[in-house]
Chain A
Amino acid sequence: MNASSSSTPSQQPEGVAFLCDRRGSILRVVWQTLDVQLSPSFFACIDARGLDSAHMFFDSALAGEFSRSVTLRLCGREVQCYAMPLDGEIAMVAVTVSERAAEFADVAAATAQHDAFRRLADTIRTNESSYDLWEEVGRLNNDLVTAQRELARTVAELQRLNAYKNELLGVAAHDLRNPLNANLAFINFLLEDSEQFSDEHVHLLTRLRTTASFMLRLVDDVLTFSAVEAGVVRINAEESSVVELVTGVVDTMRIVAERRHVDIHLHIDDPSLPLLMLDRVKITQSVQNLVANAVKYSPSGATVRVRVRREAGYIAIAVEDRGPGIPAEELKDLFKPFTRLSTALATTERSVGLGLSITKRLIEAHGGKIDVNSEVGVGSTFTIKLPA
């Protein structure tokens, strides 16, 4: 550390300026005669000579900090101390009156180590860091807003693509439906007169009918799904009896269930349940979906239990089966489209994985909800809750 000094007698205040590091070690000292009375103008004086202020930071928001000072009693005299950021360090400035330049080095050393001065320097240092952070926050905000913009653009693009996909699905399914129906009609026509065919031909025609029926069901599911996804499903609500709807579904499904040696047991807790505003076709489709699944996954000789009951604010339709159950880790994806369960592999039934996602959307379109309880090896219970 070199202190540039000369013995300049003066009647005016003189000052010592020094640069010190965080630990209070003095890096550089200068002193000079001040041409103004004790005032922060000292900064300007040292700026031109002792310390290079090229990188001094001044801003109106922080200008107040530069007039901060503390008055200390050091080396037998009153010393006015200032601090300011400079070249990544904090410049300490001490101003006092003396006729002996040599004393300034002592003043500088005592000042640099003084707690009050160091606290002042820390305050300035913190402000300096705050400004840097503030600038960085500004840049980060710009980047954040840019990222938000890109995200919004991407979301809009995905929504557009999804809409195209639904439209395509709808058109494709609609165009497939008519020829499939015609094929099914032809097959049924041939099977009505099956005695003219060999057993092998009848077997092949029967398999053909099964496949065509499956394809038709798939097309119907896709049509419904694309309509629901596109938000164009219209709920034609009319006053309806849930008991009546569920009874109708069970009666229809008993025919299928009997073929599989599965029994369906319907239990109505309260026959005087209130009428609800429902789209009968869509609620029938939803309940039928659940009952068909329950029958499909039940082993021969099992019983599917359908129960209608009143719950707080809802009428609940529960469909309970004794099927293989659904692993817990697969439950979260159960109502997503095209979900295939691992337990489904054990059955001979084919599924496209749209039924439950359609059912969920149709129920939600009525303001209702659907949930499931399941245990592997025990069975599953699906419950539709319609607001009452």
Chain B
Amino acid sequence: MNTVHEIRTKIDLLADVITDRHFQLHPELEARYGPIGRIRCREDAAFHLQYLAAALEAGNARMFVDYVAWAKVMLASRNVPPADLADNLEILASALSGRLAVDTSRTAVEYVRAAIDELPSMPEELPSFLDPERPLYDVARRYLQLLLNGNRLATLQLIIKTVDDGTTPREVYRHVFEPVQREIGRLWQLNRISVAQEHFCTAATQQVMTHLYGRIFGNEKHDRHLVSMCVGGEMHEVGLRIVSDLLELEGWNTYYLGANVPPAAAVQMCVDRKADVLLVSATLTPHLAAVADLIRLFRANPELANAKVVVGGRAFSAVPGLWQSVGADGYAATADECIELVNSIAAA
């Protein structure tokens, strides 16, 4: 049996074992965390295992270490101290032994140990993505505040006025939408906003973006075509939208497919649109396998022999070179990097 598949099929079982063991060793947690403690613990254990499976699939321990670094910040802000996380990971490591094939178990435990070793040096806080030194800082700050207040109409008015006053859509995307979206993700990670608020803010920004389309799609085009998409029905897709719109402003003919297009249909779209570049985004590392599958399908089509694949998104940012393992031609960490990379591919 495929090692990763083996873990995935046992996630429920392992999560139960880890949770039981954790509460057995620390009965005081019942009182400390109240009714949700055990359920959260189980939920977290399942997440740890999913990310561990993804790291094993990629053969890369750093992926899991990066996830644990993210989880440390997220859990600390929800009153779960790093010591509890460390305990949980220890229990996870011991739970794997004897419940997986020996080789899989050994590698998995190595990955978990690497994360435990680095845990003390991982940051507990994250700096804000809104930088007073960046252009349009005041607009970004105000825009974020209006979003958090749930005032969608006011966010739209602010952006339209900003553009009417002479700021280009490109600047709004780069200095308002992108950092504000990152900041919203940070605020959720730090437990300062709820999932509901995070989703509202994202949906509101998407709607505001549509009001700029008239100023984005009317510009001069060159004869280059790009298809962009997310995989696995991922809801975190606004980053790719931002990049796609910025590339449209650069003169590319961009076709944004969203997150729900089957791989075969996406590849066919690349053929139909004579795509020079396919841009794929993944936020969650468990989606990396789907990216690899998509790229394999893309490569198998002879009509796309000269087309390139660029990947981006948080799933790739933790581990240098991870993009190569999924078969991509390039990786970009930020919108600016992506534009530079895609333009250089077109120029080559």
Contact = CB atoms under 8 A, between A and B. Distances in A.
Interface of A: 35-36, 39-45, 47-48, 53-54, 56, 58-61, 63, 66-67, 134, 138-139, 141-143, 145-146, 148-150, 152-153, 155-156, 159-160
Given A48-B38, A160-B221, 9 more contacts: A41-B34, A44-B23, A47-B39, A53-B39, A54-B12, A54-B16, A58-B40, A59-B195, A142-B258
Interface in B237-263: 237, 241, 245, 248, 253-260
Contact of B210 (A42, A47, A58, A145): A145
Given A142-B206, A146-B256, A66 B36 contact: yes
A293 to B, nearest CB: 37
Contact of B38 (A47, A61, A146): A47
> Considering residues A44, A54, A56, which has the most beta carbons from chain B within 10 angstroms of its beta carbon?
A44
A63 B40 CA distance: 11
Contacts of A141: 203, 206-207
Interface of B: 12, 15-16, 19-20, 23, 30-31, 34-40, 42-43, 191, 194-196, 199, 203, 206-207, 209-210, 213-214, 216-218, 221, 233, 235, 237, 241, 245, 248, 253-260
Contacts of B15: 54
A66 B36 CA distance: 9
Q: Which of B34, B35, B257 has the most CB of A within 10 A?
A: B35
Given A145-B209, A145-B210, A67 B39 contact: no
B210 A44 contact: no
A138 B258 contact: no
Contacts of B195: 59-61
A301 B16 CA distance: 100
A159 B256 contact: no
B185 to A, nearest CB: 15
B217 A153 contact: yes
B260 A139 contact: yes
B39 A142 contact: no
A41 B30 contact: yes
A149 B210 contact: yes
Nearest to A148: B210
A145 B256 CA distance: 10
Contacts of A148: 210, 213
B82 to A, nearest CB: 21
A134 B200 CA distance: 10
29 contacts: A39-B35, A40-B35, A41-B34, A41-B37, A43-B38, A44-B35, A44-B36, A47-B38, A47-B39, A47-B42, A48-B16, A48-B20, A58-B36, A58-B39, A134-B196, A138-B203, A139-B260, A142-B206, A142-B258, A143-B260, A149-B213, A149-B241, A149-B256, A152-B210, A152-B214, A153-B254, A155-B217, A156-B217, A159-B218
